[in-house]
């Protein structure tokens, strides 16, 4: 099998007539058929649909050649609605659900010339850090098959890491793009809240959810963001701010000279795996050696981030998931004669939701219930403001804040499933960016015991260009992104 191409290479080859969209699609489908049986990353492979689409694109080469993602095969997390193509969000309650419409990101990707090859497994309703909460089976880490790929976009990260597809979309609420990207050794971006339309993204926590690309290179992540970003009449929270030219941000001349990178040293004093610490410290030294100015910052409220994240996210989830009631879509539990509407709701939701989703609905319902709203939910929203202000201060004197993406490398499957709180702590360095609404990227920065480690940059609102620029400059001078897991062949 030849060296898998990046999205940029595929686009350039297709535009120049060196290869076709159909060839790129066939290659991706072959790799999926060959590799995915050992990883379980795909929920649905839409082979015929993808080939039809690729052949249609190839019939008009002149039109295809001008498209920014011409012929690029892409996988979508299974919580993104695709018209007529099963979309489960990893839940039994949406078993067999065929959405009547496409998410805005889906129609934008197709308009840009991309070919959707399939849907990837995820934690149920994106609730998890390991993709073990998928009702249709867990996904394995391509670097170590006895370990988790991270979550909740674990299928998308594994598919890109194993080079089944060059790029994929995930969604990030508390780290669900960046953490699996880090644990699988690829690049993942969570854009600024409002940068990408959420229309057609199955909602988990609406004030935090954001769709983002997973890719092997920063350039590919930028190409995908360029295609999906921008205002949308179908999402009132999709911001009107102009979309920057991300390709221009990657020009080598920009480099790291004149960049200031803030490192919250005190925050990293405890709870960091030794191998992750080593890889992170080496990365900071490398940034410094390449001309970046490194400063220390305090993020004093970040130690409360996990607690308030799980109060806010579960509260929003309990409200968003009220729609799964066995009436308008999804699966209804079998009823006995004389069963009431209330009984139908309760039994449908009991049978349709998995344990983690029920746990979060229960917690969220509790914190929103009479007598506890002010104590928990309002308080959490106030602390959210303090976390946002900490980042505003840090980013007033720095271009980006650098953090490890995950405190540990990929853990073993089953290791944390019995202890939800321990599982939640996997997100300790990723929840603050969505709480503050800020863009953040994770890129590969080394290995700990043979497992990938991710380096995270958090940037200013709507300034994805700067984090792409910094990440690209680091990536260009290091070879970490080129490493491929044995399973990729």
Token pair 């686009």 is found at 11
d(CA 102, CA 106): 6
Pick the piece of the chain touching other proteins (CB under 8 A) from 64-72, 291-299, 350-358, 402-410.
350-358
Q: Interface residues for other proteins in 409-428 (CB under 8 A)?
A: 420-421, 424
Catalytic residue among 107, 152, 406, 413: 152
Tell me the window of 47-55, 109-117, 288-296, 358-366 that interacts with other proteins (CB under 8 A).
358-366
Identify the residue among 109, 167, 182, 380 touching other proteins (CB under 8 A).
380
The single residue among 339, 397, 412, 414 that binds other proteins, judged by CB under 8 A, is 339
Which listed residue (378, 397, 477, 482) binds other proteins by CB under 8 A?
378
Contact call for residue 323 and other proteins (CB under 8 A): no
Q: Name the one range near other proteins by CB under 8 A: 66-74, 121-129, 271-279, 361-369.
A: 361-369
Nearest of 465, 454, 446 to residue 400 by alpha carbon: 465
Of 299, 383, 431, 453, the one binding other proteins (CB under 8 A) is: 383
When binding is defined by CB under 8 A, the residue of 30, 245, 285, 350 that contacts other proteins is: 350
Residue 101 CB, nearest approach to other proteins (Å): 7
Torsion sign over Cα 287, 288, 292, 293: positive
The minimum distance between CB 372 and other proteins, in angstroms, equals 9
218 touches 251 (CB < 8 A)? no
Q: What x-and-dash track marks residues 81-100 binding other proteins by CB under 8 A?
A: ----------------xxxx
Cα separation, 176 vs 79, in Å, equals: 12
With contacts defined by CB under 8 A, name the span among 41-49, 222-230, 282-290, 326-334 that binds other proteins: 326-334
Instruction: Tell me how far, at minimum, the Cβ of 326 lies from other proteins, in Å.
Output: 6
CA-based end-to-end distance of the chain: 8
Annotation says 176 is catalytic:
yes
- The residue from 130, 176, 406, 432 that is catalytic is 176
When the beta carbons of 373 and 486 are compared against other proteins, the nearer one is 373
Cα radius of gyration rounded to whole Å, the chain? 21
**CA-CA distance, 188 to 420, in Å (whole number)?**
24
Residues 169-228 that bind other proteins (CB under 8 A): 193-194, 206-207
Residue 77 annotated to the active site? yes
Contact 172, 153 (CB under 8 A): yes
Structure tokens at 339: 């069963």
Which residues, numbered 228-247, are part of the site for other proteins (CB under 8 A)?
231, 233, 236-240
In the region spanning residues 426 to 455, those forming contacts with other proteins, defined by CB under 8 A, are: 435-438
384 counts as binding other proteins under rule CB under 8 A = yes
Give least dist CB 320 to other proteins, A: 12
Among 219, 325, 399, 464, binds other proteins (CB under 8 A): 325
User: Which of 20, 77, 156, 413 is labelled catalytic?
Assistant: 77
Q: Does 347 bind other proteins (CB under 8 A)?
A: yes
CB closer to other proteins out of 326 and 404: 326
Q: Does 393 bind other proteins (CB under 8 A)?
A: no
Hey, which residues are catalytic here?
A: 77, 152, 176
């Amino acid at each position: 099998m030849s060296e898998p191409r990046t999205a940029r290479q595929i686009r350039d080859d297709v535009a120049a007539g060196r290869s076709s969209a159909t060839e790129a699609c066939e290659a991706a489908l072959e790799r999926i058929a060959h590799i995915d049986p050992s990883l379980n990353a795909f929920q649905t492979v839409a082979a015929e649909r993808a080939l039809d689409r690729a052949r249609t694109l190839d019939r008009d080469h002149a039109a295809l050649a001008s498209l920014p993602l011409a012929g690029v095969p892409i996988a979508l997390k299974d919580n993104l609605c695709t018209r007529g193509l099963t979309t489960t969000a990893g839940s039994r309650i949406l078993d067999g659900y065929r959405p009547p419409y496409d998410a805005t990101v889906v129609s934008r990707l197709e308009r840009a010339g991309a070919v959707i090859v399939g849907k990837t497994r995820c934690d149920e309703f994106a609730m998890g850090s390991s993709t073990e909460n998928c009702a249709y089976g867990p996904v394995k880490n391509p670097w170590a098959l006895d370990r988790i790929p991270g979550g909740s976009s674990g299928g998308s990260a594994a598919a890109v890491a194993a080079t089944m597809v060059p790029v994929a979309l995930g969604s990030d609420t508390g780290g669900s793009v960046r953490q699996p990207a880090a644990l699988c050794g690829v690049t993942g971006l969570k854009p600024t809240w409002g940068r990408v339309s959420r229309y057609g993204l199955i909602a988990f926590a609406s004030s935090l959810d954001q769709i983002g690309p997973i890719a092997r290179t920063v350039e590919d992540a930028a190409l995908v963001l360029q295609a999906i970003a921008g205002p949308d009449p179908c999402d009132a929270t999709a911001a009107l701010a102009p979309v920057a030219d991300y390709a221009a941000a990657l020009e080598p001349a920009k480099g790291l000279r004149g960049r200031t990178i803030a490192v919250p040293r005190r925050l990293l004093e405890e709870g960091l795996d030794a191998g992750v610490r080593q890889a992170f410290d080496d990365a900071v030294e490398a940034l410094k050696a390449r001309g970046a100015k490194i400063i220390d910052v305090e993020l004093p409220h970040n130690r409360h981030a996990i607690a308030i994240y799980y109060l806010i996210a579960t509260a929003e989830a309990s409200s968003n998931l009220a729609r799964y009631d066995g009436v308008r879509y999804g699966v209804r539990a079998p009823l006995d004669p004389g069963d009431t509407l209330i009984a139908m709701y309760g039994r449908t939701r009991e049978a349709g939701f998995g344990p983690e989703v029920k746990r979060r609905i229960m917690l969220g319902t509790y914190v929103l219930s009479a007598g506890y709203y002010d104590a928990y939910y309002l308080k959490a929203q106030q602390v959210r403001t303090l976390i946002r202000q900490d980042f505003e201060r840090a980013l007033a004197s720095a271009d980006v804040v650098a953090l490890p993406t995950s405190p540990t490398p990929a853990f073993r499957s089953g290791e944390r499933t019995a202890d939800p709180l321990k599982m939640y702590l996997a997100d300790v360095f990723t929840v603050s960016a969505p709480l503050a609404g800020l863009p953040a990227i994770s890129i590969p920065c080394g290995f700990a015991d043979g497992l990938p480690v991710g380096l995270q940059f958090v940037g200013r609102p709507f300034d994805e260009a700067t984090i792409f620029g910094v990440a690209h400059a680091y990536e260009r001078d290091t070879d970490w992104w080129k490493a491929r897991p044995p399973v990729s062949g």
